[in-house]
Amino acid sequence: MNSDFRKIPIAVIGLGLMGGSFARRLKELGHPVIGLNRTKKVAEEALAMGIVDSIDPKDLKKAEIVIFCTPERGTLSFIKEHLSLLHEKAVLTDIAGVKNGFAKEVAALLPEGMDFVSGHPMCGKEGAGLAQSDGAIFDGANYVLIPEPWNRKEHLELVKDMARELGCAHVPVVTAEDHDRAIAYTSDLTHVVATALMNSSSYSEKTKYFIGGSFRDETRVADINGKLWTSLFLSNKDKLLEEIDRFSASLSTLREAIAAGDEEEIIAFLEEAGRRRREMMHRGNS
């Protein structure tokens, strides 16, 4: 990354929790930030907070990178509406949680010279909205990039550089298929499991007297945006169903060992889980 990179103007579209977090961190890093939001009042708030420099669509022309923190439909309609306002060599990127075919839809809208490099920063936090945004969410996170065959190498490198500059520790590059399969396991399934734990028929008003760290941690994401996650689940449906079934098979293995009172098999199962957990966390993903 050359020293000029730090001065690239960047636009952030959608100033919710994630967009606000991008804007904050990019401003801290010294980038001019153009921030737009469908509800203009939110953009005005971001301007007043000093985390964006401009909320004028005319300034989009300056932005060499445009980050979409919007739902997929919102991204497509924004591009259609504002195409003539974008920098002629703008590199667009997004943060959508499911990738299946979306990059092709965006590419179809773009003129020669522009490019769309799909991304998925694996970070976030509880809550929603600009007020909850926090530049620190990027620190040490994984920022997955999902390029398409037609993406130009230098554009991929540009988004990689940005991800590292934001503070992310790892920038793995994978196919959309591999991304969606991995996410079905590490993100969709965990939200399914957390909500299924809360909705067990064993839950009662008295449960709160018996909870320790494990129940608290495993149900943290059960306080969920129901509509958003329903749409994420359904757009990755086949892979998610497969992950639920694989998890259920793993659960059954342990259940059978417990039912049989097979001490040795239970210990082996738990120790393998511990080994995998330590291996997974080894790269500083703590």
Applying CB under 8 A, the span of 21-29, 85-93, 106-114, 220-228 interacting with a second copy comes to: 220-228
Instruction: Enumerate residues 152-191 that contact a second copy by CB under 8 A.
Output: 170, 172, 174, 179, 182-183, 185-187, 189-191
Instruction: Enumerate residues 191-210 that contact a second copy by CB under 8 A.
Output: 191-203, 205-210
Nearer to a second copy, 76 or 192 (CB): 192
Applying CB under 8 A, the span of 1-9, 45-53, 105-113, 245-253 interacting with a second copy comes to: 245-253
Residue 148, Cβ density class (10 Å: 0-12 exposed, 13-18 middle, ≥19 buried): middle
Instruction: Enumerate residues 138-157 that contact a second copy by CB under 8 A.
Output: 141-142, 144
For residue 257, give the H/E element and its range.
helix 237-259
Applying CB under 8 A, the span of 29-37, 51-59, 70-78, 270-278 interacting with a second copy comes to: 270-278
Applying CB under 8 A, the span of 7-15, 52-60, 61-69, 273-281 interacting with a second copy comes to: 273-281
Taking the complex as a whole, how short is the minimal distance between the CB of residue 156 and a second copy, in angstroms?
16
Q: What are phi and psi of 86, to 5 degrees?
A: -80, 155
Strands across the sheet containing 143-146:
33-36, 10-13, 65-68, 91-94, 115-121, 143-146
Is residue 152 a contact partner of residue 42, using CB atoms and an 8 Å limit? Answer: no
Nearer to a second copy, 33 or 156 (CB): 156
Q: Quickly tell me which residue has 């989009």 as its tokens.
A: 60
Q: Is residue 259 involved in binding a second copy (CB under 8 A)?
A: yes
Coil, strand or helix at 39: coil
- When binding is defined by CB under 8 A, the residue of 125, 129, 152, 157 that contacts a second copy is 125
Q: Is residue 1 involved in binding a second copy (CB under 8 A)?
A: no
**Residue 13 exposure: Cα atoms within 13 Å on the Cβ side:** 26
Q: Is residue 62 involved in binding a second copy (CB under 8 A)?
A: no
Is residue 15 a contact partner of residue 42, using CB atoms and an 8 Å limit? Answer: yes
Taking the complex as a whole, how short is the minimal distance between the CB of residue 115 and a second copy, in angstroms?
23
Torsion-angle region of residue 56: left (phi > 0), alpha (psi -120 to 50) or beta? Answer: beta
- When binding is defined by CB under 8 A, the residue of 123, 156, 159, 176 that contacts a second copy is 123
Taking the complex as a whole, how short is the minimal distance between the CB of residue 181 and a second copy, in angstroms?
8
Taking the complex as a whole, how short is the minimal distance between the CB of residue 286 and a second copy, in angstroms?
8
DSSP letter string, 105-130: HHHTTPPTT-EEEEEEE----SS-SG
